Amino acid sequence: MNLQQQDLGPDYFRLDYDEIMARIAARKEELADRLLILCHHYQQQDLFQFADLTGDSLKLSREAAAIQDREFIIFCGVHFMAEAADILAQPHQKVMLPHLDAGCPMADMASVGAVAQAYGNLVSAGVVADESALVPVTYVNSSAAIKAFVGERGGSVCTSSNAEKVLAWALEQGEKVFFFPDQHLGRNSALALGIPESEILLWRRGELLGGNTMEELRRARILLWDGYCEVHMKFLPDQVRRWRLEEPDVRIIVHPECAHDVLSLADEYGSTEAIIQAVSQSPAGSKWAVGTEVNLVERLHRNYRDKEIHLLAPTTCQCTTMDCNQPVNLLWILDHLAAGRVVNQITVDPAIARLAAKSLEQMLAI
């Protein structure tokens, strides 16, 4: 797969905003019967307004997979999302990403080579009786190669909404669970299940035995890869305390990719869909401080004017890699499709896709 974004050329960047928007609308109407545009909740509003379907990454991929009569699927999100859409799509469907630099730093923190080496080291060191006793679980925010690694070993994918349920299942399958790439979702889910801190261990990339002793590894039930979301790490305990002091009636809700010391101070936590549901169903006049990506928070503010909705942090918390997707990139793809050319296609090797699908299917079975 060619991951090099093509230069759009000066003609596109000379276009003003209104012309770009008008041309996108016209192209979308022209390609309507063949086109499906997906937008993640963290995508900027200028693209979000053109979406046929919106949601979190797995919801979008699954809903898109049920629509089999659209030849072209444009995923306004990041690489791992488009990969999941390609895995679940029909053979005649083509999945595209507006900008090929739209990646996920957290997903990139867990390469399949590094994870495989760590997994092998744990088995060869005798931390578990055999490989089957070490159950891998990957957050959906991971590459197709990582999902395939997990599927090949009988593990499961999880999402931010079902991580606790998947982790409980995994603990029933073997002696230990290796959870990646997000340490915070893994820790928050393990603690919610009542797993003591002494049995939760961080595996640090590049360090011998992940920076742990054999005694610590033998005692641990949950091993956490040391990945994290750069956006959600910007939310801090002091921000929660400030809101409590200044606005005693505020409700604080955060995403489970936040660190546990933030989560433990919040009133609620949940996935993007859970955050939207909590805010939308709250009474008029409710006051919220929300700890997740700013585009979602601003959209909640616009959509629910009868409530007072703020970003938890005092500074903008934006997924800058997803923001590589700009309206001009969407227009460029649509112009090419109208001319009979497919650009920025995201494809997953069939062998990897089959194994990755196993880990997704295991999650659905759970």
- Among 1, 293, 319, CA closest to 143: 1
Q: Is the peptide bond before 181 cis (omega within 30 degrees of 0)?
A: yes
248 marked ligand binding residue: no
How many other β-carbons are positioned within 10 Å of the β-carbon of residue 260? 18
140 marked ligand binding residue: yes
Q: HSE-up of 235 (CA within 13 Å, CB side)?
A: 34
344 marked ligand binding residue: no
40 marked ligand binding residue: yes
Going by the DSSP 8-state scheme, the letter that residue 6 receives in this structure is P
57 marked ligand binding residue: yes
Rounded distance, CA 147 to CA 55, Å?
Answer: 21
Residues 6+ apart with CB under 8 A from 94: 71, 72, 73, 342, 345
308 marked ligand binding residue: no
DSSP assignment string, 36-66: EEEEETTS-HHHHTT-SEEE-HHHHHHHHHT
Q: HSE-up of 256 (CA within 13 Å, CB side)?
A: 25
139 marked ligand binding residue: yes
256 marked ligand binding residue: yes
12 marked ligand binding residue: no
The residue whose two tokens read 């989560």 is 263
Amino acid sitting at position 25:
A
Strand-pair category, 268-269 with 251-254: parallel
Binding-site residue numbers for iminosuccinate are: 40, 57, 139-141, 160, 255-257, 272
Binding-site residue numbers for [4Fe-4S] cluster are: 104, 229, 319
Binding-site residue numbers are: 40, 57, 104, 139-141, 160, 229, 255-257, 272, 319
